Chain A
């Protein structure tokens, strides 16, 4: 019975997905029931996981009926919360966005639900095979979501680009998994870890395999230099799909990233600062932070800017991940907290952007936002909070997240301190382009003659903004509870 509770979020999504199909078949066009059902399903999944986390289920009680394939641990539950929350909020955003821009079709939500299911499987996978299956389940749905605006060449381009490059990355990852299997005779992370630690592995083969797996994962979290697809795809996809990609896909990919480096390659050789994955991740973090932040400056489209900003955030998270080789649990809990904070923050940012467009005219560039803050101060409020939290400004979730990640890097000592210094300098650069949003909204006037942005009126978008905005402030002002959950999840990962 316990095991069913432990994976109940997954089951909920499957049942909810089937239900949504039915609701979609029987409801009239543009009624919004499908969006509501989808969001409710995802929020329910998040709520169930959250309750399980709070109750502090002991992992030993859970029979591993899924063998070594699917984890039923706190880390999995933690990411269920992040994915359920991110997915549910994206569905709410879609509920307003799709109707406003004449794209209201039920498939969107069904794809979103099943993709979120894939993300949860990915986040819980403890085996190369489940990893791949989860990854593909998630990705195929997202490919379709990216191309959802069928009439728009950009959307199609976005989907095609994402699909081709994504498949390529998945193939590399699979190849890496195969090499690791060849080197260790294991596909499950624990088995791989035991084999490498015990010296039964062909080290060269395994290390090369690990490198390929890291490349595949780096693609999914859009770390430089595997980020090329991100700006185009984020820009071309409908904004709720972009939101979904930027939070759910990233969270799930980082979840499995954590599992791979800690469970499968947590041994001393692979995680030594001289060789193995820490220097690779540190290097990735450096180029990702620097490039992401610098490239974001040059953008004229807010959506593209947010795409680069999400690349930069992947860089900060990688700092924490690299530091986990030294301070382990503390760094992992920082990464977990950061991902949760990033999820609500990014939803808030994209949601604010969605709110600013109406009647078939989306707000995309900085010029579109000119003067909006003066005309509609209340509608601009979520954007202010979003900018502050993405910038890492107190007292928001983004600040605590950044603080926690960098503090774990400082604690790791040595070269990681310089990684943290570089990180804060990069985020100072980040302040510049985030401020451009505030400059546009409050300090610029619209170009005379150009149509001005009018915020849309949509209950579900407002609901998403209120939820994510409150979460951002809650995690900024009272971070204790979420920190405890993250620490407990990381603790269990290292204990088990």
Chain B
């Protein structure tokens, strides 16, 4: 039973979507409650992925199911809850899902944010509530599936599947230019993913050349060594798809349009989860499959990330539309994540992972807050506000708090992520980031992004909340309602939780990161001397033994972070 937990997680929202579609149209409130109910159920079940929860619920669950449940450890970076069944035998396609420390928090982020996004935008959707709720549930299936998939084909299917509900969410319930934004969103993503499809085909074809049979099994394909020239092209195709999704400069132009036009709930999900699939894709697919190329091209992508950090921040500064401001700040923050990933140090990667969660929490909250004010005033023009602190004190307090977390104030979640990423870039020894003063320069440029973030965020809070309450439309605005509080409270909780006790989260992802780097280095070492098309471990040897031998982490990186933030457990714990 317990190995089908992930499948159960995929099934619940899918059933929910079906149920919602068969509810009568005349009961919009029933539709909302049922759909949020299904999402909460998904969230509750997904909590079982956390070891502590699983341990705590071990006995009642065992009684309920009649068999022991699995207690995941996430200790060795291995996959848990792996389930595999053949889908198309002749092509080597299987339904294979699993979860490890890298995807764990992203999955929980998804299951947490989906109900919040729907619940938080409860009243802003008045028409076609049924279809809206069903689209959200389907979107949840797609997102979870993409995080779970351990089969390239399956991943591609879920990756594409996410597009359709989001396309409809933007296109049907969006703002004035919704059609333009929706089509742009769809086409950008489609172009990237189709090229990725060709690359996938090439990888699988190469695997067939070596072994004589087809497989899309990611774990098997990890073992494939490809020639450097091939890797360059294949990595580029994968990277393009993921860079569009992240989105990184210069492929970001769809994002402001999509965010501004999308309804609040759509924006929250888009920012909080969909964008993460891009960065997740690098970690899960592009880098382990093509280590030579990722080390070679990684710094260039990190530079695009840097450009994104600064450029996004500048763009955010000059926006008059507060939603657009948040959208551009997203570009900036996602640049940090890309930098952390391609610094390829334990800190950088850990920081990138935690920053993915942070960005989901903070930016999700910001979009919710923008939705709150838009619902009251039907404008997002910053100049239309001013002095709101007098009429909406609680709203102001929450907004300022979330803004601080977005800036990265110590004590909030944003600080942990950005600090780790910058530490990672500073100590990076990869490619030319690790050469001469480049690490320092990268870190400095990234740091200006933090300063710029403070400027634009403080700028907008100043203009919106302080000063005289000059506009009479703003006079009688009601403060946060109970529903809005309910939606925001968990996010506020996580802002502080991650900010004060990041180890809760990092402890789970750290072993996976260490393992990731070890595997990456092992494959890199082996293929940098011999990059002919072959398998890394030709005979079907036990992979566990070799993995053990290959663990080797650059030592210099540990000491600093341990000194300052101590978010990283010591090596003994890792082992």
A479 to B90, CA, bound (A): 10
Instruction: Say whether A454 faces chain B, with CB atoms less than 8 Å apart.
Output: no
B172 close to A428 (CB less than 8 A): no
Which residues of chain A are within 8 angstroms of B157 by Cβ–Cβ distance?
394-395, 399
Which A residues touch B131, using CB under 8 A? 377
A479 to B88, CA, bound (A): 7
Identity of the chain B residue whose Cβ is nearest the Cβ of A410 in the assembled complex = B201
Whether A393 contacts B198 by the Cβ 8 Å rule is no
Q: Is A466 an interface residue (CB 8 A)?
A: no
User: 0/1 per residue, B195-224, Cβ < 8 Å to A?
Assistant: 101100110110010000000000000000
A442-B183 in contact (CB<8A): no
A407 interface residue per 8 A CB criterion: yes
Q: Which residue of chain A has the shortest Cβ distance to B89 in the bound complex?
A: A480
Task: Check B458 for interface membership: any CB of A closer than 8 A.
Answer: no
Indicate if A425 sits at the interface (CB-CB under 8 A): yes
| Contact flag A431-B187 (CB < 8 Å), given A393-B164, A442-B172, A483-B91 | yes
Inter-chain contact A424/B205, CB cutoff 8 Å: no
Do residues B183 and A420 form an inter-chain contact, with CB atoms below 8 A?
A: no
Q: Is the CB of A403 within 8 A of B88?
A: no
Interface size class of B (residues with CB under 8 A): 20 to 34
User: Interface digits, B30-58 against A, CB 8 Å rule (1 contact, 0 not)?
Assistant: 00000000000000000000000000000
B366 to chain A, nearest CB (A): 27
B562 at interface (Cβ–Cβ under 8 A)?
no
Q: Mark A226-243, 1 if CB is under 8 A from B, else 0.
A: 000000000000000000
Residue in B87, B182, B191, B204 whose CB lies within 8 Å of A428: B191
**Cross-chain contact of B201 among A420, A443, A479, A480 (Cβ < 8 A):** A420
A33 to B436: give the CA distance in the assembly, Å. Answer: 84
Task: Determine whether the beta carbon of A394 is less than 8 Å from that of B190.
Answer: no
Q: Is B178 on the interface with A (CB-CB < 8 A)?
A: yes
Contact B90 A480 (CB under 8 A): yes
Please measure, in the bound complex, the distance between the C-alpha atom of A388 and the C-alpha atom of B157, giving whole angstroms: 13
CB pair B198–A439 under 8 Å, yes or no, is no
Contact A428–B198 (Cβ < 8 Å): no
Whole-angstrom CA separation of A425 from B90 in the bound complex? 27
Instruction: Report yes or no: B198 in contact with A421, Cβ–Cβ below 8 A.
Output: yes
A411 contacts the other chain (Cβ, under 8 Å)? yes
Is A374 interfacial (CB-CB < 8 Å)? yes
Q: Give B157-193 interface residues, CB cut-off 8 Å to A.
A: 157, 160-161, 164, 167-168, 171-172, 178-179, 182-183, 186-187, 190-191
Q: Are B171 and A394 in contact (CB under 8 A)?
A: no
**In the complex, which residue of chain A has the Cβ closest to the Cβ of B163?**
A393
| Residue A287 is within 8 A (CB to CB) of chain B in the complex | no
B194 within 8 A of A: yes
- CB nearest neighbor in A for B204: A407
Contact of A388 with B182 in the complex, beta carbons under 8 Å: no
Question: Taking CB as reference atom, which chain B residue is nearest A400?
Answer: B88
Please measure, in the bound complex, the distance between the C-alpha atom of A212 and the C-alpha atom of B167, giving whole angstroms. 46
Residues A410 and B198 in contact, CB atoms below 8 Å apart: yes
Residue A403 contacts which of B90, B195, B201, B208 (CB distance < 8 angstroms)?
Answer: B201
> Which residue on chain B has the smallest CB distance to residue A388?
B164
Q: Are B191 and A407 in contact (CB under 8 A)?
A: no
A425-466, CB < 8 A from B: 425, 427-428, 431-432, 435, 438-439, 442-444
Is the beta-carbon distance between B183 and A425 smaller than 8 angstroms? no
Q: Which of these, A435, A439, A484, contacts B90 with CB under 8 Å?
A: A484
The CB with the most chain A CB atoms within 10 A, among B160, B186, B191, B201, is that of: B201
What are the residues of chain A within 8 A of B89 when measuring CB–CB?
480
Q: A425-B191, A428-B187 are in contact. Are A443 and B179 (CB under 8 A)?
A: yes
When C-beta atoms are compared, the residue in chain B nearest to A483 turns out to be B90
**Interface status of A203 (Cβ within 8 A of chain B):** no
> In the complex, what residues of B have CB within 8 A of residue A438's CB?
167-168, 171
A417 on the interface (CB 8 Å rule)?
Answer: yes
Q: Is the CB of B91 within 8 A of A428?
A: no
Q: Does B171 lie within 8 Å of A420, measured CB to CB?
A: no
Question: For residues 477 through 501 of chain B, which have their beta carbon under 8 Å from a beta carbon of chain A?
Answer: none
Instruction: Find chain A residues with CB under 8 A from B156 CB.
Output: 394
Q: Which residues of B contact A428 (CB under 8 A)?
A: 187, 190-191, 194
Give the shortest distance, in Å, between A96 (CB) and chain B (any CB). Answer: 26
What residues on A are CB-neighbors of B161 within 8 Å?
394-395
C-alpha spacing A438/B194, complex, angstroms: 20
C-alpha spacing A484/B198, complex, angstroms: 23
Known A395-B157, A431-B186, A442-B171; judge A406-B198 contact (CB<8 A): yes
Which of A395, A403, A483 is in CB contact (< 8 Å) with B197? Answer: A403
Q: Is the CB of B88 within 8 A of A483?
A: yes
The smallest C-beta distance from B214 to any residue of chain A, in angstroms, reads 9
A53 at interface by CB-CB < 8 Å: no
In the complex, what distance in Å separates the CA atom of A487 from the CA atom of B172?
42
Q: Which residues of A lie under 8 Å from residue B179 when comparing CB positions?
A: 439, 443-444
Indicate if the CB atoms of A439 and B187 lie closer than 8 Å.
no
A424 and B198 in contact, given A411-B205, A435-B183, A483-B90 (Cβ under 8 angstroms): yes
Collect the chain B residues with CB atoms within 8 Å of residue A393's CB: 160, 164
In chain B, positions 122-171 with a C-beta closer than 8 Å to chain A are 128, 131, 156-157, 160-161, 164, 167-168, 171
Q: List 30 A-B contacts (CB under 8 A).
A: A393-B164, A394-B157, A395-B157, A395-B161, A403-B197, A404-B91, A406-B201, A407-B201, A407-B204, A407-B205, A410-B198, A411-B201, A411-B208, A417-B198, A421-B198, A424-B195, A424-B197, A424-B198, A425-B191, A425-B195, A428-B190, A435-B183, A435-B186, A438-B171, A439-B171, A443-B179, A443-B182, A444-B179, A478-B88, A480-B89
- 5 smallest CB-CB distances across A and B, nearest first, come from A424-B194, A394-B157, A407-B201, A410-B201, A428-B191
Q: Which residues of B contact A (CB under 8 A)?
A: 87-91, 128, 131, 156-157, 160-161, 164, 167-168, 171-172, 178-179, 182-183, 186-187, 190-191, 194-195, 197-198, 201-202, 204-205, 208
4 more A-B contacts (CB under 8 A) besides A399-B160, A411-B208, A483-B91?
Answer: A393-B160, A428-B191, A442-B171, A483-B90
